[in-house]
Amino acid sequence: MGKWRHPLVALIVVQLGGCVQPTAEREQAVCTGAGTGERSERLFLQQVGDSGALLRWRGESGVVCVGTRADALDTRVAAREEGGHHEVRLSGLQPDTVYHYALGDVSAAPADQQFRTAPRRGALPTDGNTRILVLGDSGTAGAEIAGGKAREQTSARAVADGVRRFVAAQGGGEPPDLLLLLGDNAYTEGSDAQWQASFFDIYPELTRSVATWPTIGNHEMGSVPVDVCRFAPMPSCKDAPVYRALGGGSESPDPASYDSDGDGPDPGGMPYLSIFDLPARAELGGVPSGTEQYYAFDHANLHIVSLDSQLSNRDPAQRAAMRQWLVDDLAANDSDWTIVIFHHPPYSKGVHHDSDHEQAEIDMRETFGPVFEEHGVDVVFSGHSHSYERSWYLHGHQGRSASFDPQRHAELNAAGEPAIGQHDEAYRQVSAGSGRDDKVVYAVTGSAGQADRENPCPPGRSLLCTREDWLMHPAHRRFESAEPGYRPHGIARLGAVVLDVGRDRLSSRFVDEHGEVLDWFVIER
């Protein structure tokens, strides 16, 4: 195996040639070795391409030392302030090459901090495989309930540990090359402090060594005042509505409306857009979107698109503009594989989120589903529902669940039943039924921080409980297991998705907190 190992597993140092250059406005110098290296409150990678990378951190140091050898960091680059972070843009890097780095003026990396640049566009990594970790709704460690106690803090850590176990035991020891976030990765308001507790403190080794690519969820958009009497009647409800700030309840299409505590927009705006620096100008491929709310990039032989189902999708004009951008971007795309991420799932029967009734899900299904099919999208990942659901290989269904007909809308096996995507029923990128690349797998993976539990709804109630059709969307594959958490069309268990992509094969696995694979599918070119 030729791929670099970061601290999640054993490190294999690959020392290759290359030089590091700062961006034009930064001054380059030689690291003196006078310092000892510094740890930071928050250190993470963004926009790692085949010739550059972006480093962001918080801490005292205003410089970073970089080099292709851990014992000889030969280039010193000064940082600038951006979005409340120190930031360094590295350019002139060599593709598919390991770079070591440290904060402060040092000559050797004291903490083995390193990253690997992407292969050249269209090329494969050294070992022929790109591994991607997909996390949905992982932000529970930063949530607070009455009394200020963290909610479900251990669940997010358990999923992180499960991924490590999988990588060590079943994943060939191969760590992720990319990290995709499906939204709601910082509960409950998506504040800067919640991002720290929910994400950066849970995955510190990963964020320092692998680029993070997020999408916007409803909990990234703060809170709104809500009449709690609608959900939990209290004696005081007899006199008047009782309003409290509800995180994740915003339906505004304007990021400037971000409100962390229910008393009006925060002057600093939406923390998500300050924390992350995303390629609105197509810095790493694709077509410029002009906004960090949705974007695209290339990595090796992959094209990845992040859509905005929370803000842009709420406004008809913005939704139309995002759709047109998507059409233009996918029409220009010639990568082997195309993956799309966004928060609100087009097909789901989650506890609180039903794609038959929630408008955001309906709009994403009706507006963008036909575009995915027309332009060869392979897999769509969403979160929002705190469970795992995975569709058949779909085409032509944009209606509600009752209108789904597997004979018309799913790829069929030799027996005339929906093909499961495993073993001899692996999906073909060019459909055997239509002869076109026109089918899509939709996966809901929103249980990286908490998993829903069965709680049957009493008569007359449909909120905060499990309905009879919970995890019963017919567009999703069937499960026969009677183990806890399994339902006929989904799994209510903690977990995340590990995706492996080569030249001719894409493999997706849902991995639980114990490192066990509970579902998988394959698409072959």
* Rounded mean pLDDT, 108-117: 86
* Rounded mean pLDDT, 511-517: 97
Residue 380 vs residues 34, 371, 442, 445: alpha-carbon distances, Å: 49, 12, 5, 11
Query: Is 113:208 a contact under the CB 8 Å cutoff?
Result: yes
pLDDT of the residue at 225: 86
pLDDT band (50, 70, 90) for residue 463:
confident
Instruction: Answer whether the bond into residue 126 is a cis peptide, omega within 30°.
Output: no
* Rounded mean pLDDT, 72-101: 94
pLDDT band (50, 70, 90) for residue 5:
very low
Counted residue by residue, the chain has a size of: 525
CATH topology for 130-221+267-273+337-524? Purple Acid Phosphatase; chain A, domain 2 (3.60.21)
Residue 467 vs residues 261, 403, 463, 520: alpha-carbon distances, Å: 31, 19, 9, 27
* Rounded mean pLDDT, 167-188: 93
Query: Is 10:82 a contact under the CB 8 Å cutoff?
Result: no
What CATH number labels 21-116? 2.60.40.10
Domain ranges of the chain: 21-116, 130-221+267-273+337-524
pLDDT band (50, 70, 90) for residue 233:
low
pLDDT tens sequence across 407-433: 999 999 999 999 999 999 999 999 988
pLDDT of the residue at 161: 94
pLDDT band (50, 70, 90) for residue 83:
confident
* Rounded mean pLDDT, 29-38: 75
What would the 3-class secondary structure string for 460-524 be?
CCCCCCECCCCCCCCCECCCCCCCCCEECCEECCCEEEEEEECCCEEEEEEEECCCCEEEEEEEE
Sequential DSSP letters for 15-32 = ------EE-TTSPEE---
pLDDT of the residue at 112: 78
pLDDT at 12 over 90: no
pLDDT at 303 over 60: yes
- Comparing 143-152, 248-257, 399-408, which segment has the lowest mean pLDDT? 143-152
Sequential DSSP letters for 162-228 = HHHHHHHHTSTTPPPSEEEE-S--STTT--HHHHIIIIITTSHHHHTTSEEEE---GGGG-EEEEEG
pLDDT band (50, 70, 90) for residue 231:
low
* Rounded mean pLDDT, 17-39: 59
Element (H, E) at 58: strand 53-58
Structure tokens at 40: 């930071």
21-116 against 130-221+267-273+337-524: fold identical: no
More confident residue, 455 or 377: 377
State the Cα–Cα distance between residues 385 and 450, nearest whole angstrom.
10
- Comparing 105-114, 206-215, 260-269, 422-431, which segment has the lowest mean pLDDT? 105-114
pLDDT of the residue at 28: 53
Q: For the chain, what is the mean pLDDT?
A: 90
pLDDT tens sequence across 307-363: 999 999 999 999 999 999 999 999 999 999 999 999 999 999 999 899 999 999 999
More confident residue, 9 or 256: 256
pLDDT of the residue at 513: 96
pLDDT of the residue at 13: 27
pTM: 0.92
pLDDT at 148 over 70: no
DSSP 3-state of 45 = strand
More confident residue, 246 or 402: 402
Closest by CA position to 130, among listed 501, 504, 490, 509: 501
More confident residue, 140 or 463: 140
